[in-house]
Structure 1
């Protein structure tokens, strides 16, 4: 019988794909399908509607694993790193 007096640990294996890599993969899939990737990703971030992202190469499933605010954070971080704002 299980001891209910102690805290049990539960570990979930997660996909360690970075937000940066997911954005790169989604961008590539959208480009390959002939979409404007910037417009499509912005549409998704603004609305939350996953149909802005193609299902080609599993792009829609990948981007939905990440919270939209995390996508914005990653893009802003990379923009600031590449600029001379420092």
Structure 2
């Protein structure tokens, strides 16, 4: 093992799709319950407090399957690639 070289780990397209599906399901659940999905998701990403996410449609459990930094990375990547 070479300890002088930084190793890179990439999840690949499957992980991106997994994160996208979770974000979209959580967004939909928040919208159905009458919340502002963007505000609620930003609150969760910034604070780590899962109570920002509704339990409706198991959204809270779903969003906690992904690390917050992974969600943020996916959102920034999507934004940059599509603008």
Indicate the structure (1 or 2) with the bigger Cα radius of gyration.
1
Query: d(CA) in 2 for partners of 1:40 and 1:27?
Result: 9
Displacement after TM superposition at 1:74 (Å): 0.6
Which deviations, in whole Å up to 9, do the C-alpha atoms of 1:33-54 show, x marking residues without a partner? 0000000000001110000000
Aligned length: 68
If the length of structure 2 is used for normalisation, what is the TM-score?
0.79
If the length of structure 1 is used for normalisation, what is the TM-score?
0.76
Q: Which residue of 2 aligns with 1:53?
A: 53
The alignment yields a C-alpha RMSD, in angstroms, of: 1.2
1 or 2, which has the higher helix percentage? 2
Unaligned runs of 5+ in 1: 1-15
- Structure 1 runs (4+) deviating above 3 angstroms are none
Displacement after TM superposition at 1:81 (Å): 1.2
Unaligned runs of 5+ in 2: 1-14
Query: d(CA) in 2 for partners of 1:19 and 1:40?
Result: 17
